[in-house]
């Protein structure tokens, strides 16, 4: 934790994993509602191989080039599906940070 100019704590993150092969897709509004998260913020689902050292307190940063220009997006991890490594693919549910 670091502190802002007013002395309030700010959570900081270290880069612990990089260049991890993943499939990232934006979640549709109906899928976001199905997972119990009605929100105006963008929801994302990331698929990675099991065994990655990813926990719910982590943050994901990636460059989104689907809009025609590169946009860096930062996502907060909300939920990890298959954390017990019961399968080959792990689904990570995220919400885009401001």
pLDDT digits (tens, 9 = 90+) for 45-79: 989 888 788 888 888 888 877 767 788 888 888 88
Cβ neighbours, 10 Å, residue 45: 19
pLDDT at 97 over 70: no
Question: Which pTM was predicted?
Answer: 0.65
Whether 25 and 96 have beta carbons less than 8 Å apart is answered as: no
Tens digits of residue pLDDT in 34-50: 555 555 678 889 898 88
């Amino acid at each position: 934790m670091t502190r802002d100019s007013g002395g309030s704590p700010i959570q900081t993150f270290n880069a612990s994993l990089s260049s991890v092969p993943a499939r990232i897709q934006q979640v549709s509004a109906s899928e976001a509602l199905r997972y119990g998260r009605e929100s105006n913020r963008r929801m994302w689902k990331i698929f990675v191989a099991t065994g990655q050292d990813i926990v719910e307190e982590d943050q994901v940063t990636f460059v989104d080039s689907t809009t025609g220009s590169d946009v860096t997006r930062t996502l907060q991890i909300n939920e990890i599906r298959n954390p017990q490594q019961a399968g080959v693919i792990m689904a990570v549910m995220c919400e885009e940070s401001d």
